[in-house]
Amino acid sequence: MKTIDREKLITLLENKGIVVRGLSEEFDGMDGGIWISAEETDNQFAFDYYAMNSSYDLGVHKDLGVFLERRGWYAEWYDAGTIFLWEI
């Protein structure tokens, strides 16, 4: 697994239609992450904190989870409407 840099991942996510709010530094000062709002209409297919079905793993659509992992990243919930992506 080769980790891609944050800027490249943001571009790939945006090309997939995911709205990126900004960098983690802009939200809470933590360095290195990507800030995403799970409440954005365009993001609701990818993230569902309350999902109780086989399409999601811990509230992240399984296809997106695989996409992230293959690029050296993972998703972590901050609260039910905010998710961060971090390097593995």
Mean pLDDT of the chain: 96
Binned at pLDDT 50, 70 and 90, residue 62 comes out as very high
Question: Does residue 59 have a pLDDT over 80?
Answer: yes
**Using an 8 Å Cβ cutoff, are 14 and 25 in contact?**
no
pTM of the entire predicted model: 0.94
Predicted pLDDT of residue 22:
97
d(CA 81, CA 7): 22
Predicted pLDDT of residue 2:
85
d(CA 55, CA 8): 26
**Using an 8 Å Cβ cutoff, are 74 and 68 in contact?**
yes
